[in-house]
Structures are given as structure tokens and as C-alpha cells.
Amino acid sequence: DGQWIVKLIIACRSDKIGRDSDGRFQPEVDDRYSFKTLDQFQKAATASFTLPQIRGYIEKYVAKQLQVAVRQSSRGDKDVVQHRPSEAPLTSESSRVWSVQQYMETLTDIPNLMELVKNPYILSFILELLPTIAESSLDVLRSRVSFDALYKYIFDHWMRVGKQRLHGKMMSSAEQQALGKLTEYGFGTACMNYLKDLAVEIFTKQGGDPVVEYSHLRHRNTSPWKTRFFGPDAETRLCQESVPLIKSGNFYRFAHPSLL
């Protein structure tokens, strides 16, 4: 009968589905005028983490990383050193498995970071990035991660994942040509220019208000600057999908105000 036989649909990029798309997912019945299906379709979204939930996630993450380190040791990495829980085990490759305390102190010390990682997705890759950043930009005197280095890694990681996603999805001919042009120019550079120019316009045109409303039918002739960043142009759409912007209906915002 053409219907999906599913109980649950998980969308990792639900902001791309559209505000009036519920009808595409609601179960159908023989009587199209029946309202019985309305209560059979329920939506749920991942809520922001609380501080106890952040700590709980980190505890599980650290335990998993320690298990990986032990397996590496059993395969020939003989230099894994077991420390107290407040310290970090070291492998023969000098990669540190951070302790829960190290993560919590770093998240607290860096301005706005604890608020940022209340987003579960951001927390997951921040935990991966912090030890790497510490190895490359550690302040020897203070033993703290640089604020600027962290945010550079966040943007680089986000755009790298975005580019990988684009290469893995079905694209129209226009999108393929646009991706080719962006890649030739430098995909990361193009995305970063998009973000910087958008930030300038937000402060210039909106006084720093981080939320931008854009509906193409409504704003295409009245707000050229919005069309430049959120219009249907293929290159624009590919950049938009690969940077830390969140879309909710006709509203766009940075994943966190501190990224603006």
C-alpha cells in the first residue's frame, strides 16, 4: 500500500525537514477525512544536557577510552601507565586518556564552553578534540587549553564533517557543480568566509541579534543580505549545511551565541 512499516524514525538533521512536513510521516488510514491518525504521530527532540548529565556522559566516555587503552596495551603497547583516577594514563604514543576531573575542569575554565556542551552532539566531539588540542597548544605554565585554539578546532571539525556528509549524499547536478567550485576554491576557506561575512551582517543589520528570520518568498526582494546567506543558490546552501548554524522553521541561528 506504499506505506512504511516502521515504528520509529530518527532524523539527525531534523532542522532540514521543514516546518510543515508532519503529513509526510503520519500514518494513513482508509478514510482520509479521519482524525484518528493525529494522536498516532508523536515527535520528540533531544533536550539539552544538565550539568549532572554532562558529568555522567563524561564518566562513561572516559571508562570507554580506558578500555581501548587497555586493549592497545594487550596488543603490544607495554607503556600504558595506570594512575590514580585524578590522573591520566599515558600510552607509548604519548596520547593522554583524560580523567573525568580534567574534562570537567577544562569545560569550566574555558568561557562559555560548559554552556556550549549542553548540546549533546557538541559535547561528543569536544571530548574527542580537547586532548588533541592540549597536545598542540598547551600553555606549559598554566596547563590550559587556548580559547582561540579550541574554537578553531570546533569550526574545522564541523566543516570537515559537513564536507564528508555532502560527498555521501545524493546531489543534484547544480549541487555537484557547486561542490566542485567550492572544493577548487578551498571548501574550508569558503565556509569560513561565509560565517565571517554572515557575522558582520548580523552585527551591521541586526545590531548583533543572533537569530535571523528568512523566508525566500517573503524576503527575496526585501532583504538582499538575507538572500545572500539563506537563499536557494547551490553554493550558498552547501556552505550553510556545513557550518554550525541551526535552522528552526524560518529562523536561523549559530549553534551557540559564543560562536558568533
pLDDT tens sequence across 133-185: 777 655 433 445 666 777 777 888 888 888 888 888 888 899 999 999 999 99
**Considering Cα of 9, then 15, then 21, then 23, what sign does the dihedral take?**
positive
Indicate whether 15 pLDDT > 80: no
Mean pLDDT confidence for 189-206: 92
Q: Using CB atoms within 10 Å of the CB of residue 192, give its burial: 0 to 12 exposed, 13 to 18 middle, 19+ buried.
A: middle
252 Cβ contact list (under 8 Å, min separation 6): 211, 212, 213, 214, 230, 245, 246
Task: Report CA-CA distances (Å) from 11 to 25, 40, 237.
Answer: 12, 18, 19
State whether residue 213 is helix, strand or coil. Answer: strand
Name the nearest CA neighbour of 13 among 4, 5, 21: 21
**Considering Cα of 234, then 152, then 247, then 193, what sign does the dihedral take?**
negative
Residue 140: the pLDDT is 38
Domain ranges of the chain: 51-145, 179-259
Residue 52: the pLDDT is 95
Q: Sorting pLDDT into bands at 50, 70 and 90, what band is 2?
A: low
